Amino acid sequence: MLRLSNLSVPLDYTESSLRRLVEKKCGISPDQLLAVSVVRRSVDARDRQDVHFVLSLDLKVVHEQALLKKCRFLSPVSRPAPVVWPPARFSRPPLVVGAGPAGLFAALMLARAGANPVLVERGRSVDQRARDVEIMSASGLLDPESNVQFGEGGAGAFSDGKLTCGIKSPYQRTVLETFVAHGAPPEILVDRLPHVGTDRLRGVVSSIREEILSLGGTVLFETRLESLLLRAGRVEGAVLSHAEEKREFLTDTVLLCIGHSARDTVQSLFTQGIHMSRKPFAMGVRIEHPRSMIDRAQYGSFAGHPALGAASYKLVCHTPDGRGVYTFCMCPGGRVIAAASQPGGVVVNGMSNHARDDENSNSALLVGVRPEDFGDDHPLAGMVLQRQIEKAAFRCGGDDFRAPAQRVEDFLLGRPTVAFGAVRPSYRPGVTPADLREVLPSFITEDLRRGLRAMNAQLSGFAMPDAVLTAPETRSSSPVRFLRDSAGEAEEYAGLFPVGEGAGYAGGIVSAAIDGITAARNALEKAASL
């Protein structure tokens, strides 16, 4: 098999036209080209007059070595050796706390190895959540399209399904292939910016959980980790609660995949002596524009082409104070959603369905937050800062989970918004026109102003007057890091593995899933060595 990279093709290419392009490029006849498969696809929109795809292809050809010598732009395809997993030799089933990307993939790999893991999920099952929303909506307490959740953790774990990843790992392909095997669209294996969509992701998550169960795993819904059982420098189990009843679960292996919003659990673990440190993160707002405007700005006259879909962007601005402003978790053709995980606080996030066909496009617009911005040197001071901002947003929004929002023009001029214009805020259960200076610290608002002006030069219309800023986006990543050694264990307790975003070692679905897989392997190797 040979790899042909960086082949430019028109947006409306077909399988037959692609074969002809390859034959011409390589100087071979149709009977010499046995098979063509796309392994990577991206959009090149640098020239708005010539928007096209760039492909990487795997070719099966006759006389491979001869063609390789003839065409120096080709390269042999090397297939990585399959990963051999250690056998499961746990004395008791391992406990996986948390069912976000890290927890689900850790439990799945342990189950595939025959370890019969127990997976603790603080939330309710998909069916139970659907009934909750139906009841609350009928009573007028909740908009049926909102995503408000209560309890300390689990906010937005799989809200959208963007599967981009900034790290290299042999497990990255494992994550993507697992998603496809459980119902995600196959194109995520080739797209440079893979995306599943909230509507498809619900079924994927349920299917992964069903595989865990089919392999001998156990899932405990509505169950919370109250504390760990620790003795003589190692973990011996955990205290779990369900329906206000507590019980001990004995095990010598606990994978903490609690996510970055499980604040009560983090506090409890800190009280027990689990070592943690402050960690930089980012906070800001969600910015919304008309999807059609972003499409035109990115694709010019090609906007609306059925092969392209809604356009995305990624913008960065350096600021004099060194914090920087950047866009994150961009949702083309999506909406701003509620991601509150505590009563009395407002948090926003973003999502898109697979079709990405909503009226607006949105993105997080974030400012870097340093530990010295926390106002305290306590390891959990960043969480305190987050909570203060979320409470301020709750009050500013009207004490009913509406989010404070402001037009970009008003924000830049330092005046409160009294009414919205051409861009209709998508956040449910609704927004309150506001002055975001009442919610966000001044160092964030000042840098956001700098960022908006600079990014408008990068993407025409980004600072359009009627664009909407909805606040606050506080949960981009964790402000806390659990300290662990080179084998992934907590520094002070053997058998305890802090994992994923909540532990401070990941920043998205794929990186968290990879950390979960790595932790499962580390736990298996540790058990096999005893």
What are 242-252's pLDDT values in tens digits? 998 999 999 99
Instruction: Give pLDDT, residue 124.
Output: 57
Q: In this structure, are 177 and 123 located in the same domain?
A: yes
Q: In this structure, are 304 and 183 located in the same domain?
A: no
Q: Is residue 84 part of a domain?
A: no
Q: In this structure, are 502 and 458 located in the same domain?
A: no
Expressed as residue numbers, the domain containing 50 is 2-76
- The angle, 0 to 180 degrees and rounded to 10, between the axes of the packed helices 172-181 and 509-529 is 110
Instruction: Give pLDDT, residue 133.
Output: 45
The torsion region of residue 36 among left (phi > 0), alpha (psi -120 to 50) and beta comes to: beta
Q: In this structure, are 118 and 34 located in the same domain?
A: no
Q: Look at the block and give the residue holding tokens 């037009």.
A: 407
Q: In this structure, are 236 and 364 located in the same domain?
A: no
Kindly give the residue spans of alpha helices, DSSP state H, lying in 332-441: 381-397, 408-413
Question: For the chain, what's the residue count?
Answer: 530
Q: In what order do the strands lie in the sheet with 95-97?
A: 218-220, 118-120, 95-97, 254-256, 496-498
Residues in a beta bridge with 83:
none
- The angle, 0 to 180 degrees and rounded to 10, between the axes of the packed helices 101-112 and 198-214 is 30
Hey, CA dihedral for 259, 263, 267, 272, is it positive or negative?
A: negative
Q: Is residue 390 part of a domain?
A: yes
Tokens of 291: 């999807």
Q: Is residue 265 part of a domain?
A: yes
Q: Is residue 105 part of a domain?
A: yes
- CATH code for position 67: 3.30.70.2700
Q: In this structure, are 195 and 107 located in the same domain?
A: yes
Low-confidence ranges of the chain (pLDDT < 70): 124-159
Q: Rounded to whole angstroms, how far apart are CA atoms 515 and 498? A: 10
Instruction: Give pLDDT, residue 139.
Output: 38
Q: In this structure, are 343 and 385 located in the same domain?
A: yes
Instruction: Give pLDDT, residue 52.
Output: 97
Q: Is residue 48 part of a domain?
A: yes
Question: How distant is the alpha carbon of residue 484 from its chain centre?
Answer: 23
Q: In this structure, are 319 and 368 located in the same domain?
A: yes
Hey, CA dihedral for 291, 411, 420, 335, is it positive or negative?
A: positive
pTM: 0.91
Q: In this structure, are 216 and 288 located in the same domain?
A: no
Instruction: Give pLDDT, residue 142.
Output: 44
502 — phi, psi (to 5°)? -65, -30
Say if residues 497 and 87 touch (Cβ distance below 8 Å).
Answer: no
- CATH code for position 113: 3.50.50.60
> Quick one: which of 467, 435, 439, 438 has its CA closest to 451?
467
Instruction: Give pLDDT, residue 496.
Output: 98
Q: Is residue 365 part of a domain?
A: yes
Question: How distant is the alpha carbon of residue 443 from its chain centre?
Answer: 26
Q: In this structure, are 372 and 314 located in the same domain?
A: yes
Q: In this structure, are 112 and 179 located in the same domain?
A: yes
- Domain-terminating residue out of 473, 496, 513: 473
Q: What is the CA radius of gyration of the chain?
A: 24
Q: Tell me how crowded residue 313 is: count the other CB atoms within 10 A of its CB.
A: 17
Q: Is residue 441 part of a domain?
A: yes
Instruction: Give pLDDT, residue 159.
Output: 65
Q: In this structure, are 415 and 493 located in the same domain?
A: no
Secondary structure letter of residue 401 according to DSSP: S
Q: Is residue 87 part of a domain?
A: no
CA distances from 144 to 46, 147, 199, 219 (A): 40, 8, 15, 27
Q: Are strands 431-433 and 403-407 parallel, antiparallel or unpaired?
A: parallel
- Domain-terminating residue out of 473, 494, 515: 473
Q: Tell me how many domains the chain contains.
A: 3
